[in-house]
Amino acid sequence: MSSVPQRTIRRAVSVSGTGIHTGARAEITCRPAPVDEGIVFVRPDHPASPMRASLHNVTGTHRGITLGAGSASVRTVEHLLAAAAGLGITNLLVDVRGEELPILDGSAAPYCALLSRAEIAEQAGTIEPITPRGAAWVEEGEATLLAVAGPYLRITYVVPLRHAALGAAQVADITVRDGVFMRDIAPARTWGFAADVEKLRRQGLATGASLDNALGIGPEGYLNPPRMSNEPVRHKILDLIGDLALLGRPLLAHVIAVGAGHALHLKLVRRLEREADTAREP
């Protein structure tokens, strides 16, 4: 298994916007980080709040990934994590002013543009990818996730839609290499059914959601123009890549997902992490 170079950014860059769940204004500043630091989120209003993007620090998976607890927590980190993973960035400090990262246009493309503007810098250290031993299988009800060893990260994802106009399901099979993430995955926006919006808002979720930052689905189909015909399933791949980034190491595997979500994604991360830890034991 070949190690890969660690990477960070050359200069600090900032962006602000609305949180999709809180509806509140938020700003983040991404800064360079040293070798082996990983991706670390900091709430400047909570000096003791540095939280590495790791499974250990995940405290919520409902409609997004939350790191940390209480007033020092940071919500909806998966799009930035996906952008960093897609660009091969392994070390990053992220100052968050607010309790949620800005949703921007609902995809990872603006975060990719932000990090690219900061210029990606290769570092002296290396990092060893994770490869599953045998088949790593997790399930929850009718949802399943399977990971088997492969030379690259390949994701086959099935999203059941059960929609009269859009079909029973969407399927995508994408190998994440050679700029594929930037072109075919990063632009895919978060999405949801219009019929669910009011229920979510009564739960304190999606208060900042709009057709400017999400792809809406109504009884007749899409409520705003999709960026690709199967944008929902491509966004699920985006979310999975962000969740897999919680491993802290690149994953070389073919991952097959059917009807999964953040909670099941993290169940697979936990399984892969446990296997990797066992493999390192003497």
Check residue 231 and give left, alpha or beta (phi > 0: left; psi -120 to 50: alpha).
Answer: alpha
The pLDDT of residue 71 is: 81
User: What ranges do the domains of the chain cover?
Assistant: 4-127, 135-280
Residue 136 reports pLDDT greater than 70:
yes
Same fold for the pair 4-127 and 135-280: no
Q: State the helix-helix crossing angle for 78-86 and 109-117, rounded to 10 degrees.
A: 60
Q: Give the CA count within 13 Å in the CB-facing half-sphere of 217.
A: 17
Residue 275 reports pLDDT greater than 90:
no
> Over the chain, what is the mean pLDDT?
94
**What band does 82 get if pLDDT is binned at 50, 70 and 90?**
very high
Q: What does CATH list as the number for 4-127?
A: 3.30.230.20
The pLDDT of residue 278 is: 65
**What band does 154 get if pLDDT is binned at 50, 70 and 90?**
very high
Q: Diameter of the chain by CA atoms?
A: 58
Residue 1 reports pLDDT greater than 60:
no
Q: What does CATH list as the number for 135-280?
A: 3.30.1700.10
| 93-112: average pLDDT | 97
Beta carbons of 15 and 110 less than 8 angstroms apart: yes
Beta carbons of 30 and 60 less than 8 angstroms apart: no
**What band does 279 get if pLDDT is binned at 50, 70 and 90?**
low
- pLDDT tens-digit profile of 223-244? 999 999 999 999 999 999 999 9
Residues belonging to the active site:
262
The pLDDT of residue 69 is: 84
| 188-209: average pLDDT | 92
Residue 116 reports pLDDT greater than 90:
yes
The pLDDT of residue 45 is: 84
Residue 204 reports pLDDT greater than 90:
no
- pLDDT tens-digit profile of 83-100? 999 999 999 999 999 999
Residue 49 reports pLDDT greater than 80:
no
The pLDDT of residue 280 is: 59
